[in-house]
Structure 1
Amino acid sequence: MGKTLATENILSKDLNISERHVREIFKEFKTGEYYDYRACVQKFVRNSKLDTSENVTQKKISDLFGVSEKTIRNLTSENILEKNEKEMYNLKLNFKKYIEKINKNNELREIKAESEKMKLKILKDEYLPVYVITDALKETIFNFRNYLLGISQKITIEIEEKENPNINKIVENRILKALEELSKFDLTSNKDI
């Protein structure tokens, strides 16, 4: 599993500490402007002098995770967090499950953000949808094919019209015109889509 990165703001909110405190205690986990989320949370739990194998109440786990008790109930009903037979939460087990949930949410956010960036690039004319390129290529190939199919007739007419025709030059000119036709292929905009 790759690293999950978080900003000071996210760590501050999730751990219920100030951003300054985040900078002070997690500086070794900072790369650029982001922190290794898992390493920071693990250090935070270690430093809070909690026995991670202990069982805690819903209130205590909500305080530790920095979320409401309702969120803990919802996560429990979604089978993300588990209660034991005494209605207590094993901190170590549920901590891992909560981090996995956060990692999945972060991955989804990144995927959505990447999707939005791609849509924006399409709107800005930086990328074209596949169907536009496919349709334009089909049309260009069709036009080029038709031009080539008529080339022999055009060459024949041109040779018959001249007294001493330079056949090589006539064929070469017609092939160059065919290639010019092919070079007219242009996909500079998707504004007409």
Structure 2
Amino acid sequence: MKVYSILILNKAGGLIYQNEISSGLNKLSANDYLVLAGTLHGVHAIGSKLSQSISTTNNLKNTEELNSIQNSNILSFGKALNPNNNKSGLQSIETDFFNLYNFQTVSGLKFIIITSPNDNFENFETSNEIFRKLYILYSDYVMKDPFYSLDMPIKSILFDKNVKELFR
């Protein structure tokens, strides 16, 4: 699986990092990447809302049952469940020209990789391993940087260098 590009979006859908790892797709302008980031964020949000409403409609009989389940979750965990999980919403797009994989962290950060197309199912498992390694790099080189502010563009030279080494 050849990785073409990596995008990182903040929880509001803003593009905070973009890196073209290898050529193979048409070049996009900075404005095109911003539009792409907003569109992917919107599609993910709509997809997660749709999947939640479909599962709620199928599994629950009435609103009282839903309220009692939510209240018991709050009482047992001490807090409401975080809606930012990667079990719903947009997870992958597969086309003849590229595959796009999306991973949302608990904090709402979205990692997106654009790869070469492949017919086997192992790509999804491989993408999860890539996301794990990217998240470790993000934690080590971005979040531990005392000069980095959350939701701001990532300008870390060490992060860039290690991301490029990851895909050699």
TM score, norm. by length of structure 2: 0.29
Scaled by the length of structure 1, the TM-score of the pair is: 0.26
Larger relative contact order (Cα-Cα within 8 Å, sequence gap ≥ 6): 2
Q: Which has the higher helix share?
A: 1
